[in-house]
Chain A
């Protein structure tokens, strides 16, 4: 019951946030210096194109009406047609989006696969050799931004070691050749995984250490069950709430980290497309991508919030 109420409250908040996002994304156009239509149309400023743009954005009306005209189009899945590429914004996004999803999923699998076991071992002997090494290492990694990591990974793996399909412009879609696709995803996934790994390791380690001091862990020990079982069955779940919360928030950062990686390796995901669109002054496409990414991030946050209440139903009661 408490869970339902909690989820309902979150849902209302989420709708509110999406509303704010839509207003923000809508208003972006008006940040352009001078007449937005002139800037957006750029070189393709023909009377027909101008008329189409006015229809799409309702530019000749009051700003409030404009918003609703725009919103109505958005809700019908119409984000306009780029005046630079003459492609529909929605179809461009549809092509790019799965690449980001693949990248993020791969990176998260890697990050969790390393962070969880390492945090478990670290927490069993706080200030032990392993813990000290891992903590110092993760702290150093914390200070290396993804764009530096990817530059040096490319330098070492693709340029110096000459491992095929890892360098810039080697991306191939998964339908075309899934092996090459995975190979080209290695460096992006590793780069994004490093940042997440550091975050997850540190959070889980510190929560595990405090959980292990709980009385219920001593009671579990007194049952004479194995250390392994105490860690996984008794300590892990109560310690994973902050971990899951962090993972949810981290997704936003991952998408942004993805920009950098895609930009360098020319992987045609949303980030690459976005930067490309910014450089080409393809503002409708920029607006569409910003809207889609923002809403996705909010939806993911909501999903993770819900996940937390499943892990620890007590959260919903507070």
Chain B
């Protein structure tokens, strides 16, 4: 009866409103992937690449505009901006990936386990996580970093990573919950598959798309946060370059040399844009609703 009631015209509009659903990822997606690859490559091999020393002052070449010799010009101390940006990417890349490694390393297994096991374990962990989730994470990070001196890259990664655990936990738990009641999981349970097998063979591959797109967007968020911290002078200290502290240093010199601000800002924005775009495309490709993330 109910099946018959589901007449053609009722279900159809939904299908119609998304003509591009499950289409291809598009050229822009691959451009972003390539850009991300270049950034990561540069961050890893910065000291192997033929780049000028990012810390070397050159008073005969102060505030130069872009030229063949200095690809993106030089700053107020004559340091090569391109080289500083490449070295600066090390901070963003390592904080982004490092913090998310901690966040996913702890949050994802906990989230999967809680959603798979349910019961008391789930209740306790979830309540705990929600308490921390209500905690304004950014303020907590700033507070801890300002007291836990001296600051180092490792401490920054650790603090941001721990702060991201509840967020990762919530996303992965929700994704697992929605999978756990799907027919194929129930079928596997009925057939007597071990928990291990169900988690790794059935659940993991299906949660992976949600996880990956959230991972990319999470990295973007963390990189933004590190940039803001650096801007406020709470991250890696100069002269060691990072995108955030380069922008911070540039702000007093804007009227003299606009390039010092534009290039690191551009580098950061393009990096974030690639991450966000890849994450967003993957999300709609795998048809994960925005609300879940």
Contact = CB atoms under 8 A, between A and B. Distances in A.
B142 interface: yes
A263 B272 contact: no
- Chain B interface size band reads 35 or more
Interface in B244-275: 244, 247-248, 250-251, 254-255, 258, 261, 265, 268-269, 272-273, 275
Interface stretch (B34-42, B132-140, B184-192, B201-209): B132-140
B1 interface: no
Interface string A283-301: 1001100100110011001
A151 B254 contact: yes
Interface centre among A140, A145, A290, A297 (most CB of B within 10 A): A145
Interface stretch (A15-23, A69-77, A90-98, A106-114): A15-23
Given A143-B269, A148-B247, A32 B139 contact: no
B264 to A, nearest CB: 9
Contacts of A127: 19
A297 B58 CA distance: 47
B136 A294 contact: yes
B139 A140 contact: no
Given A148-B268, A294-B139, A242 B291 contact: yes
B148 to A, nearest CB: 5
A31 B276 contact: no
A25 B142 CA distance: 12
A297 B136 contact: yes
A143 B261 contact: no
Interface stretch (B46-54, B60-68, B77-85, B226-234): B226-234
B231 A263 contact: yes
Nearest to A18: B134
Interface string A267-307: 00000001100110001001100100110011001000000
Interface stretch (A46-54, A178-186, A250-258): A250-258
Interface residues of A, number: 58
A159 interface: yes
A151 B136 contact: no
A252 B138 contact: yes
A213 B276 contact: no
A147 B231 CA distance: 7
Contacts of A154: 251, 254
Contact of B147 (A215, A275, A286): A286
Contacts of A275: 232-234
Contacts of B17: 126, 209, 213
A242 B291 CA distance: 8
A24 B132 CA distance: 11
B144 A256 contact: no
Interface of B: 10, 13-14, 17, 19, 130-132, 134-140, 142-144, 146-150, 220, 224, 227-228, 231-234, 244, 247-248, 250-251, 254-255, 258, 261, 265, 268-269, 272-273, 275-277, 280, 290-291
